[in-house]
Amino acid sequence: MPELPEVETICRGLRKYALGLKIKDVKVNMPKMTNVPVNQFRKNLIGARIKDVLRRAKTINIQLSNGFWLVIHLKISGQLLYLPKTEPIKKHTHIIFGLSNGYTLRFWDQRQFGYMRLFDSPGRDRFMAELDFGPEPLEKNFTLEMFRGLLKSRPKSRIKPLLLDQTFISGIGNIYADEILFYARIHPLTRPGALKDIQVKKIFQGIKKILALGVKKRGSSIELYVDVAGQPGGFVPYIKAYGRAGESCKRCRTPIKRIKIGSRSASFCPKCQILKHESHE
C-alpha cells in the first residue's frame, strides 16, 4: 500500500532519527525476506553506519558507510519502525537492527510480501536498472513537456492503469491515482490519445499538487501504514474518491462509483468524470 508520499515520509523520518548511527546487531526472523544468506547479511551490516537514506519510486535505499546499500520495499503491509530496544517486539516483526543509540529499526510485515536487498554499489545500480522505474513526478525535471511525451508514447492505454505503471511514472499507486484523476475530472478508462491538451495539463497539475499534499500530510493511513515513529499520516481527510464508493461526491453529491480495471480498481464520480473527450471545467 505505501506509495510515494508514505515512502518519502518514512525516508525523511529515517534521515531525521538514524543518520550517522552504527548498526550494532541484526536479527533475521524471516530469512526469505533477504537476498543473501543470513550470516552474510549480518556480516555486511554490523559495524556499518547509516550514511544516507534515499527514496526511488516506492523503495527505501539506505546507504551504508562500508559501501553497501540496503534496498527496502514495504509492498502491501510493511512497516519500518524506529523504536527503543525496550519496546516489546510484536508478532510479524521479521528483521531487527540494533542501533548504537539504544534504539532499534524493525521491519514488520503482516503479509510477508516486503523485502530487504543488500547490494554493493554496482549491484544496487543493476537492481534499479532491472526495475526500470519511470521518472520521479515531484522532481523539477518532470515537466509538462515530458508528461506530454510519455502520454504520446502510450496513446491506447487506459489512464488509471497507466498512472499505476511504475515504468511510466514512479511512485503513484491506487490512492493517489484516483485522487489525481478526480482533481483533473478525468474518467479512469480514458485513453491518453483522446485527451485534449487542457486535460493533459490538468492531470499534470494534479500529479504535482496531490502528491505534494500527500507528502506534506505525511501519507495516508487507510490500512496499516504508519511512519517510523508509529504515527499515522494525515492525508485521509483530503481524500475525495479513493475508497469512497457509494458515498456522495464532495463536488456534486453524486454517489462515487467503483469499477474494476483488470486486476485493479478505480473510484470516481460518474458525473464529474464522464468518459468523454472534453474538459469539464
In a domain, 138, yes or no: no
Is the pLDDT confidence value at 75 over 80? yes
Output phi, psi for 32, to 5 deg. -65, -15
CATH code at position 255: 1.10.8.50
Q: Are residues 8 and 92 in the same domain?
A: yes
Domain boundary residue among 131, 157, 183?
131
Grid coordinates of 252: 456534486
In a domain, 233, yes or no: yes
Q: Are residues 89 and 166 in the same domain?
A: no
In a domain, 221, yes or no: yes
In a domain, 279, yes or no: no
Question: Does residue 58 have an active-site annotation?
Answer: yes
Q: Are residues 148 and 169 in the same domain?
A: yes
CATH code at position 48: 3.20.190.10
For the chain, report the end-to-end CA distance as a whole number of angstroms: 32
pTM of the entire structure? 0.94
Q: Are residues 101 and 218 in the same domain?
A: no
Are the CB atoms for 135 and 142 separated by under 8 Å?
A: yes
Grid coordinates of 188: 479512469
- Mean pLDDT, all residues of the chain: 96
As for how many domains the chain has, the answer is 2
Question: Does residue 3 have an active-site annotation?
Answer: yes
Q: Are residues 9 and 126 in the same domain?
A: yes
Q: Are residues 149 and 126 in the same domain?
A: no
CB-based burial of residue 261 (10 Å sphere; 0-12 exposed, 13-18 middle, 19+ buried)? middle
Instruction: Quote the pLDDT of residue 222.
Output: 86
Task: Note the pLDDT tens digit of each residue in 205-246.
Answer: 999 999 999 999 999 998 889 999 999 999 999 999 999 999
Are the CB atoms for 220 and 199 separated by under 8 Å?
A: no
Is the pLDDT confidence value at 1 over 80? no
Q: Are residues 161 and 262 in the same domain?
A: yes
Q: Among residues 12, 24, 264, 271, which one is catalytic?
A: 264
Grid coordinates of 58: 516506492
Task: Note the pLDDT tens digit of each residue in 122-155.
Answer: 999 999 999 999 999 999 999 999 999 999 999 9
Q: Residue 224 and residue 77: Cα distance in Å, rounded?
A: 6
Q: Are residues 54 and 76 in the same domain?
A: yes
Q: Among residues 55, 58, 160, 218, which one is catalytic?
A: 58
**Mean predicted confidence (pLDDT) in 174-185:** 98
Instruction: Quote the pLDDT of residue 276.
Output: 74
Q: Are residues 98 and 153 in the same domain?
A: no
Domain boundary residue among 97, 131, 165?
131
- The CA-based angle 218-219-224, given to 5 degrees, is 120
Q: Is 193 left (phi over 0), alpha (psi -120 to 50) or beta?
A: alpha
Q: Among residues 3, 6, 8, 179, which one is catalytic?
A: 3
Question: Does residue 87 have an active-site annotation?
Answer: no
Where in the sequence is the domain holding 150, given as residue range(s)? 144-268
**Crossing angle of helices 197-216/4-18, nearest 10°?**
30
Q: Residue 140 and residue 135: Cα distance in Å, rounded?
A: 10
In a domain, 273, yes or no: no
Residue showing cell 493511513: 221
Q: By three-state DSSP, how is residue 8 classified? A: helix
CB-based burial of residue 56 (10 Å sphere; 0-12 exposed, 13-18 middle, 19+ buried)? middle
Domain boundary residue among 90, 107, 131?
131
In a domain, 280, yes or no: no
Q: Are residues 173 and 106 in the same domain?
A: no
Question: Does residue 158 have an active-site annotation?
Answer: no
Helix (H) or strand (E) holding 259: strand 257-261
